[in-house]
Amino acid sequence: MNRMLSVAFVALMAAAPALAAEPDNLVLPTGFHATVVADNLGPIRHMALRGNDIYVSTRHGQNAPSVGIVAIRMGADHKAAETKSIAGIDQGTGIRIYKGYLYAASGTSVSRIRLDENLVPTAAPEVIVEGLTATNHPIAFDGRGSMYVGIDGGGGTNNCPDPNGPKEKPKGLMPCPLLETRGGVWRFSDSKPNQKLADGTRFATGVRNMSAMDWRNNDSLYGAWHGRDGTSKGWPELVTPTDDDNIPDEMFRITRNTDMGWPYTYWDAARKIRLGAPEYNGDGKTAITDGKYAEPVATFSPLRPAVLDLAFYNGSKFPRQYRGGAFLAMHGGSDPVVLPGGHNGYNVMFVPFSGNHAGTPVAFADGFAGEGPAAKNIKTAAYRPVGVATGPDGALYVADSNKGRIWRIAYGE
C-alpha cells in the first residue's frame, strides 16, 4: 500500500510544471500559489493561527533585543495589516492555540495566555510548566487533557560522554544520565499551572535534537529530529563519509515508552538497519535486532536536511491526497562547505499517509534558497524554512529564519 501511495505522489508532483511568477521563484505543485504575508520579522521560529491572526515564536533574545511573540493580523488580501508583539515570552520554539489559549514555549518553560478578540490579549501569561532544560521545546496536545513537551538530548551532541574518559574516541555512559531530564518527550496536564518536570511523565525517550512535533488526528503523536553529525570525522575507521551521509533525520510515531535510540544507536537509511553508536562499541556494520528501539516511519537523507517543524494537514482545501499527511520544514544543511549539488533541505517536504501508514517523502515547496543547487548553503541561501502551520483557511503557512518572511501557500486561488 505504501509503495502505491508513494508512486502516486511522485506522479502527482511531476505531472506538470509549477505555476509561473511565484514570489521568490518558489517551485510548487500545479494548482498551488504562494503569497508573502509578512517580512522582516527577525529570527522567528514556529507559528499558530486563529482566524486571520498569526502568532509567531521568536529567538530574538539571542542576538537581538527581546520582542516576545510576534502577533500579525492579516487583511482580506492575506497580507499583514497589523503587527504587534506580546512581551515576556521568547527564546522559544513551540507555539499552539488550544481551547481558547495561546500556548508558547520559552527556553525553560511553557506558558499560556487566554485569548480574546484583540490581536494582543489583555490577560497575563500563566506558567503551565517551568524549570525545563534550556533548549528547543516543541509542544502538542492530544485533545484528552494532555500536553506533550519535547526536550532535546545533549543539545545536538552525538553522545553522552564519560567526563572522566578520553576526549578522543570517547566512551558513552550507560545508562546516560542526560536521559533523566532531557532527550525525550514528557507528558503534562494541559491546564494545571506551575508544573515541574517531576510532575510530568516521561512519555518517550531517545531523542537527540527535536523541534518538530505534532499530534495526528485519530492516530498518535509524531516527531522528527536531527540525526548524528560528523560521525565519520571522529570514527573514520568505522564510518565512511558515504555512511555518514546516510545517517538521516528521522520521523517517528511516538507512543508510550517509544525509544528512538539516542545516544546508544543510530539509523542507517541506506541499509535500513539500526546500528550501535561507536561510543558504545558499535562497529558501523552490525545491526541491533533486540527490538528495543523504534524504527522511523520516514527518513530524510542523504546529507541531513535539518528538519525543524512538522504540521499535519487537517484542512479540506488541498486535494484529497494531502489530507492527513505531514508537511515538514527543512532548514537546510548547516555545513558551510559548498557542495556541487548543494546541501539537502531548504524546502518543505510532504509525507503522505494511507490510514496510519506513512509513505515516501516528496518535495512539496522548493526554491527558498535561491536559484540552482549552489544556493543551498548557509552562506548563500536567501531563505531557510523554519516553521510550517496549517491555517483555519485551509492554507499552509511557511516561516523563514533568515529574514523573518512568512508565505501563505493556497490551492486553487
List the CATH number of the domain containing 21: 2.120.10.30
Our CA angle for 159, 400, 102, nearest 5°, is 85
Amino acid at 382: A
Q: What is the pLDDT of residue 14?
A: 45
Q: What is the pLDDT of residue 51?
A: 96
Q: What is the pLDDT of residue 19?
A: 39
Of the candidates 261, 247, 326, 248, the residue with the CA atom closest to the CA atom of residue 294:
261
Q: What is the pTM of this model?
A: 0.93
Distance, CA of 300 to CA of 310 (rounded, Å): 13
Q: Are strands 406-411 and 396-400 parallel, antiparallel or unpaired?
A: antiparallel
All cell numbers assigned to 254: 511516538
What Å distances lie between residue 282 and 209, 228, 250, CA to CA?
21, 14, 20
Q: What is the pLDDT of residue 101?
A: 98
pLDDT at 63 over 60: no
Least confident of 50-54, 160-164, 353-357, 406-410: 160-164
Domain that holds residue 239: 2-411
- Phi and psi of 349, rounded to 5°? -100, 160
Question: pLDDT tens across 376-401, in order?
Answer: 988 899 999 999 999 999 999 999 99
Q: What is the pLDDT of residue 333?
A: 79
Average pLDDT over residues 126-134: 96
Q: Identify which has the larger pLDDT, 266 or 170.
A: 266
Cell numbers 500500500 correspond to 1
Amino acid at 30: T
CA 209 vs. chain centroid, Å, equals 10
Of the candidates 129, 124, 123, the residue with the CA atom closest to the CA atom of residue 109:
129
Of the candidates 378, 360, 309, the residue with the CA atom closest to the CA atom of residue 8:
360
pLDDT at 340 over 80: no
Q: Are 162 and 183 in contact (CB under 8 A)?
A: no
Q: Are strands 406-411 and 362-365 parallel, antiparallel or unpaired?
A: unpaired
Q: What is the pLDDT of residue 117?
A: 97
Distance, CA of 89 to CA of 107 (rounded, Å): 9
Q: What is the pLDDT of residue 88?
A: 86
Q: Collapsing DSSP states into helix, strand and coil, what is residue 86? A: strand
Question: pLDDT tens across 238-273, in order?
Answer: 999 999 999 999 999 999 999 999 999 999 999 999
pLDDT band at residue 4 under the 50/70/90 scheme: very low
Average pLDDT over residues 51-62: 85
Give the total residue count for the chain: 413
Specify the number of domains making up the chain: 1
